[in-house]
Amino acid sequence: QLQLVESGGGLVQPGGSLRLSCAASAFTWGYYAVGWFRQAPGKEREGVSCIDSSGRSTNYADSVKGRFAISRDSLKNTVYLQMNNLKPEDAALYYCAAVSSINTWCGIKDPTDYNYWGQGTQVTVSS
């Protein structure tokens, strides 16, 4: 059973940066596509970014393109989400999710594409 643990959330001022981490328990982490999703109070969960199992293919929501960057470190079994120039509308509970995948797929349109989820880490953007 793959377990995911997010960290790195916190309170940041508008324009600030945070780096979220998603650490996995399985040594076969390199066979999983990983997505970052977020959910603000009263809103649906939305996809933010994803990275395929090889790390060569990524995808971003239009709202975060040019500000967020996803990467993975297979030696550390960790996927990162670097978030720069944060805006108040980025505030949410951020989840990482994973699904076994050996091709170049990753997606952010449908959370049900992923079957492993972390507990989430809170990001608050406020002055």
**CA-to-CA distance for 113 and 15, rounded, in angstroms?**
32
* The pLDDT value given to residue 104: 82
pLDDT tens column, 46-78: 999 999 999 999 999 999 999 999 999 988 999
pLDDT tens column, 18-45: 999 999 987 677 889 999 999 999 999 9
**CA-to-CA distance for 107 and 104, rounded, in angstroms?**
10
Is the CB of residue 99 less than 8 Å from the CB of residue 51?
Answer: no
Mean pLDDT, the chain, rounded, equals 95
